[in-house]
Amino acid sequence: MFEIDSGFKDKELSRALLRGIEKEFKSPVRFMEVCGTHTMSIFRYGIRGLLPEGLFLVSGPGCPVCVTSQGDIDLIIELSKEPEIIISTFGDLLRVPGSRGSLMDERARGSQVNVVYSPSESLEICKKTPEKEVVFIAIGFETTVPTVAATILEARAKGIKNFSILCLHKTMPEALRTLLEDEELGVNGLLAPGHVSAIIGARPYRMLSREFNMPIVIAGFEPADILQGILLLLRQLNDGRADVQNGYKRAVPEEGNLRALSLIKEVFEPCESTWRGLGKIEGSGLRLKEEYGEFDAMKRFGLSPNPSREPKACLCGEIIKAKATPLECPLFKRACTPLSPVGPCMVSSEGTCSAFYKYGLL
């Protein structure tokens, strides 16, 4: 059988691409990998150490848990304390520390917290426990949003009454714009996220690339995909170009996924959102449209947004903006470890601090 994934993991292919990178590399550059899964893959395969000296990769704001504001994390944890509520969430959120404790701590104290792999599994919990309110913690970028939209449409079609979401979704292009507007960013090219791009397509990056004269390559997650992305960025720099190139054609059509985009539009509308590190960004969040208000946990339980107070001395906010590395954080490996994390970047498997801690830098 044709094994598609092993091809992109191939050693020879990666070696050839690395030779290409060596050849094209002329002077020190810094590229940002925007997506958390890129960060994971780069560390997992030891890619940083294989690159020529002076070619730096820095991680961007692409780990959904990491960019969620402290106020929102606290809101989630407060919500989990309500006895009639079952929290349904992706596993990464469990250990993220709020101002006082994490969801995992609350679960140990008796809160009902269910880990799901897909938002739609929340509806099965609704069916099994009709006397409870099930709240899905909707965190994630454009890739996750349509899966939540589909779940809401399914809940409506099935007349499920005890389901709602705590909508904390964020969208990528506006955050990238905020990052790029920062003149101190010092990044020479972006590896754009693979699966966010599968939904939004290549177009949203074109404006950014033009406006900020920034080379951008959409990349997949296998080692060869990432190396190819780096090679293409180097070539653009050497040619004095700043384009958007699609290095992940097997997942990303130019126009994106129109069906998913229309589902997002059907259920959600843009709003302001608060990002850890980046602060409030107009149009970078999504909220449920009026007609889907019944699924909004904020409305259903009369919640109001918490002010954001990020933990003292924690550099997560700076790390998300590539302004600092975990090694510069006074808490890293001392007060902050995966077992007792202070900031979310140490918790999420995609977080930069977690990757530094787990895989180290050689």
Among 169-177, 220-228, 236-244, 309-317, which window interacts with another protein (CB under 8 A)? 220-228
249 binds another protein (CB under 8 A): yes
Contact (CB, 8 A) for 137 and 259: no
Nearer residue to another protein within complex by CB, 22 or 82? 22
Contact with another protein (CB under 8 A): which of 29, 32, 34, 35?
A: 35
Contact (CB, 8 A) for 248 and 194: yes
245 binds another protein (CB under 8 A): no
Instruction: Tell the smallest beta-carbon distance from residue 303 to another protein (Å).
Output: 23
Amino acid at 195: H
66 binds another protein (CB under 8 A): no
**What is the DSSP code string of 283-307?**
EEEEEE-GGGGGGBHHHHTT--PPP
**How many angstroms separate the Cα of 215 from the Cα of each of 175, 206, 207, 245?**
17, 10, 11, 8
Contact with another protein (CB under 8 A): which of 74, 174, 310, 350?
A: 350
Among 31-39, 127-135, 273-281, 297-305, which window interacts with another protein (CB under 8 A)? 31-39
241 binds another protein (CB under 8 A): no
Cβ count within 10 A of residue 185: 18
Nearer residue to another protein within complex by CB, 49 or 279? 49
Contact with another protein (CB under 8 A): which of 231, 320, 324, 331?
A: 231
**How many angstroms separate the Cα of 182 from the Cα of each of 4, 212, 314, 320?**
39, 11, 21, 13
Q: Which residues contact 23 (CB under 8 A, 6 or more apart)?
A: none
199 binds another protein (CB under 8 A): yes
Under the phi-then-psi rule, with left for phi > 0, alpha for psi from -120 to 50, and beta for the rest, what region is 32? beta
Nearer residue to another protein within complex by CB, 11 or 312? 11
By CB under 8 A, what part of segment 70-109 binds another protein?
A: 90-95
Instruction: Tell the smallest beta-carbon distance from residue 27 to another protein (Å).
Output: 19
Contact with another protein (CB under 8 A): which of 78, 82, 105, 121?
A: 121
Place of tokens 């409030």: 280
Instruction: Tell the smallest beta-carbon distance from residue 330 to another protein (Å).
Output: 20
Instruction: Tell the smallest beta-carbon distance from residue 115 to another protein (Å).
Output: 7
223 binds another protein (CB under 8 A): yes
**What is the DSSP code string of 156-206?**
HHHT--SEEEEE--B-HHHHHHHHHH-TT---SEEEE-HHHHHHH-SHHHH
Burial group, residue 338, by CB count within 10 angstroms (0-12, 13-18, 19+): middle
Instruction: Tell the smallest beta-carbon distance from residue 59 to another protein (Å).
Output: 14
242 binds another protein (CB under 8 A): no
Nearer residue to another protein within complex by CB, 138 or 185? 138
What single DSSP character describes residue 308?
A: P
Contact with another protein (CB under 8 A): which of 61, 98, 140, 326?
A: 140
Instruction: Tell the smallest beta-carbon distance from residue 41 to another protein (Å).
Output: 8
Torsion angle (degrees, nearest 10) of CA 85, 295, 345, 14: 130
Instruction: Tell the smallest beta-carbon distance from residue 304 to another protein (Å).
Output: 26
- Which helix (H) or strand (E) segment holds residue 122: the answer is helix 121-128
337 binds another protein (CB under 8 A): yes
- Nearest C-alpha neighbor of 88 from the set 139, 149, 159, 158: 139
Instruction: Tell the smallest beta-carbon distance from residue 311 to another protein (Å).
Output: 19
Instruction: Tell the smallest beta-carbon distance from residue 132 to another protein (Å).
Output: 18
Contact with another protein (CB under 8 A): which of 25, 32, 33, 37?
A: 37
With CB under 8 A, what is the number of residues at the site for another protein?
92
By CB under 8 A, what part of segment 264-323 binds another protein?
A: none
Q: How many DSSP H helices and E strands does the chain contain?
A: 17, 11
* Residue 11, SS3 per DSSP: helix
Contact with another protein (CB under 8 A): which of 34, 103, 126, 150?
A: 150
Cβ count within 10 A of residue 282: 11
